[in-house]
Amino acid sequence: DAKTTQPPSMDCAEGRAANLPCNHSTISGNEYVYWYRQIHSQGPQYIIHGLKNNETNEMASLIITEDRKSSTLILPHATLRDTAVYYCIVAAYSGAGSYQLTFGKGTKLSVIP
Amino acid sequence: ETGVTQSPTHLIKTRGQQVTLRCSSQSGHNTVSWYQQALGQGPQFIFQYYREEENGRGNFPPRFSGLQFPNYSSELNVNALELDDSALYLCASSLAWVQGSRETQYFGPGTRLLVL
């Protein structure tokens, strides 16, 4: 079962920041938070991941609370092309080079013109 | 573009048949994972291969099997197809994840399988 809880849907005005919340209250100390997105019928696209520090890359920022029980993905200037399902995933190393991504149902983000 | 390719893009089979799906990993990646995504659901982990051996498995029956080749490409085989096997099958490649690393799985476009 997914270890994360996300709102099923959100709207965001084009050009504004999109803030997508995720709750992972049972996260363990060695588990990472990953964000992927999936545009209709395409393969999931990696966005960003982190352990406990905030992270930023060319696509987004990831803010993880100090207790690591929740995080927020921020798309600073949403465009219509950012309309997608966003998945927040908790993943752990399980030995011998193995880890798996356990997807939930994600948040359907609709960017409105 | 992730550099991960999958073939075929679409496939139609009938119940009871067998199917083989193929995945070519991103250059330099030695680990491949397979996922099944039913309509309206998130992807579900099937199994992972590392150095040509199964290295983790999700809650899927043995009729789902795989192979990884020395060039790190991979196959997913499904025997005795059932109607519920209709789904988008995704493969993802990565480097092996060692403790403290930050390896990422990169997904291919998927193969859409329809079982009639």
The pLDDT tens digits for B86-101 are 999 999 998 776 655 6
Q: Do you find a cis peptide bond into A44, omega within 30 degrees of 0?
A: no
Q: How many other C-beta atoms lie within 10 A of the C-beta of residue A62?
A: 22
B109 touches chain A (CB under 8 A): yes
Query: pLDDT band at residue B51, thresholds of 50, 70 and 90?
Result: confident
Q: State residue A101's pLDDT score.
A: 86
Handedness of CA B105, B5, B82, B87 (dihedral sign): positive
Burial class from Cβ neighbours inside 10 Å (0-12, 13-18, 19+) for residue B14 reads exposed
| B31 vs B38: CA distance, rounded Å | 23
Query: pLDDT band at residue B71, thresholds of 50, 70 and 90?
Result: confident
Nearest to A98 among B42, B55, B90 (CB): B55
Q: State residue B28's pLDDT score.
A: 82
Mean pLDDT throughout B75-84?
A: 98
Q: List, for residues A85-111, the tens digit of each pLDDT value.
A: 999 998 876 666 567 788 888 999 999
For residues B54 and B60, the answer to whether their CB atoms sit within 8 Å is no
Q: List, for residues B4-42, the tens digit of each pLDDT value.
A: 999 999 999 999 999 999 999 988 888 899 999 999 899
More confident residue, A101 or B102: A101
User: What does the block give as tokens for B89?
Assistant: 């099958």
For residues B46 and A108, the answer to whether their CB atoms sit within 8 Å is no
- State percent of chain A over pLDDT 70: 92
For residues B60 and B46, the answer to whether their CB atoms sit within 8 Å is yes
Q: State residue B109's pLDDT score.
A: 96
| B22 vs A70: CA distance, rounded Å | 37
Q: Kindly list the residues from chain A whose CB atom is less than 8 angstroms away from the CB atom of residue B99.
A: 30, 93
Nearest-Cα residue of chain B relative to residue A39:
B109
| Cross-chain residue pair B56–A98, CB shorter than 8 Å | yes
B11 touches chain A (CB under 8 A): no
For residues A60 and A48, the answer to whether their CB atoms sit within 8 Å is yes
| Cross-chain residue pair A99–B43, CB shorter than 8 Å | no
B81 touches chain A (CB under 8 A): no
- A-contacting residues in B 49-68 (Cβ below 8 Å): 50, 55-56, 58
Nearest-Cα residue of chain B relative to residue A1:
B44
- pLDDT, averaged across chain B: 91
User: At residue A16, does pLDDT exceed 70?
Assistant: yes
For residues B96 and B77, the answer to whether their CB atoms sit within 8 Å is no
Q: State residue A113's pLDDT score.
A: 94
More confident residue, A3 or A63: A63
Q: Kindly list the residues from chain A whose CB atom is less than 8 angstroms away from the CB atom of residue B25.
A: none
